[in-house]
Amino acid sequence: MGQSKQIFRSWVPEWLIRLTIFLVLFPTVMLFALSTANVNAATGFYGAEPQDIQFSMLLYYAALVAFTPLEKRFFSRIATKEYFLICLVLQVIVTYWCYHTREVAVLFICRFLQGILNCGVTSICLTLLFSRLKSEHARETGYAIFYGMILCSGSLTSLITAPLVDDFEYNVLYKMVIYTFVPGATLLLLLMNRVHLVRRVPLYQLDWTSFFLYAPMLILLGYILIYGQQYYWLQDPRIVGSVIGIVLLTITFVIRQLHRKRPFIDMGVFKSRSFIFGITLLGGLYLIRGAFNITTSYFSNVLGMDPLHTYELLSYNLVGIVIGAIIAARLVIKKRPLQFIWLVGFFLLLVFHSAMYFLFTSEVDEATFILPLMLQGMGAGMLLTPIVLFIISSVPEAISVSASTAGVFIRFTFFGLSTALINYFSLYFSRTHAMRLSDGVSGVDNGLAERLQTYRAALQSRGLMADQAARLAPGLLDRAIQKQAFLKYAMDYYELIAILIMVLMLLIVITPYISRTTINVRAKQPAAATV
């Protein structure tokens, strides 16, 4: 109770404290997914390519990953209230800059700065959240809440912003985020006392050199993953130069860490087999989770659903995430075997991808997807928190922060890799299937004339003249071919994902040392940017 009075004013009720923490954390998490809330609207507003919008999101992520080790030092040196105020003011300024610019290059800079500032706000919110959970399993519960919010962030952000994008220009989303920050920030500043939540450490010997090696390496990695397909990979000198830059920066960075007394990331974490296994599962989960974007594209591209109705349907996925996160937290607290939790989670994802393989059709009732979407959410919710807790617990406490930092790097890498794979296979499979379908619908096809006549009749029934209908009918045929090509691509990709899930489940079954790692994060501080 003493700690409670130190952090917050004595008259503040507990429910108001928890509400305030949530009001601050929600826009912080939402800011991560804002770039891709509506890619089509963003590309139209900035006059950019979809890859540019994807890269802006990876820049945000790269800054968050690179600044995580440094942020802990600032958090421990500055009083929490003042530190929060500094981060908040800078975040508002940068977000307002995003609101005013139409230049993609300026947007890139702003998103990188937002990622850096996000570290501070997230670190404060996580520490405050853990301080309010009084049980001996407070950190397990806190991580479950936080990672549940992370999983929900994409769909929830898109659902909230869809009406705004329909009625206003895209940049109004950044103004919305600024307004969303105000209630929680105002309450937190009014309710908190001037305290240090962690032990004070002087700001000396900050390893800025490692940061300036690490951050460019991450940016170049993101650049390759996003633009590699567009520039034909190693056929373009920009990609070749980026690969060389990554190799040189990585070698220099690793050598520096091996010879420093206080490394940016302790390379000793990679000596643990449990840690390697944990990041393997984490990387696989992010590849699987990234494939969910194909379902979203299917709803809009094939079924013709507008963004608002698409994300209203995805709200069932959010319900599944919440249920899965709660179940996972309870099972971890009750010390149920991790193999059981992971196998159930991956099995639910396997059911989802197998079901969607057969549900990818040009016409289907929306209610059919409710159960699969909930199962997908439950699977993801049951997996992320236990995997992260396993990673943190798989190394000695002295280097647990480095394990968390390395885990953030894995999530960044596989998040970008998932985007790159979808970009590649969407082009490869769609082009292959489109060519096969076009070959089947040729001038010698006896059914071609009947199909065109069907389209002409449909257009005429809608009031078009015969000559207009004749001109538009081939276009409708082409759209039908493209839809079928997309469906074939979606089925092929989900088949690959189903195989990946089965491989991961097999690894979980045959790996003997999972049970030797005990989940124990009570003595470990949360990482600043465990996104």
Map tokens 């009014």 to a residue: 190
| Cα dihedral 115, 291, 384, 393 in deg (nearest 10) | -80
Residues 127 and 136: their CA atoms lie apart, in Å, by 15
- Confirm if 136 and 522 have CB atoms less than 8 A apart: yes
Map tokens 């010390």 to a residue: 335
Taken in order 217, 218, 220, 225, is the CA torsion positive or negative? positive
Helix (H) or strand (E) segment spanning residue 256: helix 237-259
Name the CA radius of gyration of the chain, rounded: 25
Look at residue 511 and give its three-state secondary structure.
coil
Give the residues across from 8 on adjacent strands: 192
Please identify, in words, the CATH class of the domain defined by 1-202.
Answer: mainly alpha
* Inter-helix orientation angle 370-393/138-167, to 10°: 140
Residues 163 and 308: their CA atoms lie apart, in Å, by 7
Mean pLDDT by 10 residues, the chain (531 residues): 62 86 85 78 86 91 89 79 88 91 91 90 82 66 76 80 80 88 89 76 77 94 92 90 95 91 85 89 92 88 81 88 90 86 94 92 85 93 88 81 86 90 79 59 53 59 62 60 80 93 93 67 48 42
Half-sphere exposure of 67 (CA within 13 A, CB side): 24
DSSP string, 74-86: HHHHS-HHHHHHH
pLDDT of residue 494: 93
> Which CATH superfamily is 266-430+481-530 part of?
MFS general substrate transporter like domains (1.20.1250.20)
DSSP string, 461-478: HTT--HHHHHHHHHHHHH
- Confirm if 113 and 126 have CB atoms less than 8 A apart: no
pLDDT of residue 443: 47
Q: Give the residue ranges of DSSP H helices in 441-465.
A: 448-461
pLDDT of residue 469: 61
Amino acid at 366: E
Taken in order 199, 201, 207, 212, is the CA torsion positive or negative? positive
Residues 411 and 405: their CA atoms lie apart, in Å, by 10
- Confirm if 17 and 8 have CB atoms less than 8 A apart: yes
Residues 326 and 257: their CA atoms lie apart, in Å, by 38
Half-sphere exposure of 78 (CA within 13 A, CB side): 16
pLDDT of residue 165: 77
Cα–Cα distances (Å) from 455 to 178, 364, 431, 459, 487, in that order, read 49, 21, 24, 6, 21
DSSP string, 85-125: HHHHHHHHHHHHHHHH---HHHHHHHHHHHHHHHHHHHHHH
- Confirm if 444 and 249 have CB atoms less than 8 A apart: no
Residues 84 and 37: their CA atoms lie apart, in Å, by 26
Residue (of 196, 203, 75) closest to 529 by Cα position: 75
Cα–Cα distances (Å) from 243 to 48, 63, 465, in that order, read 24, 19, 57
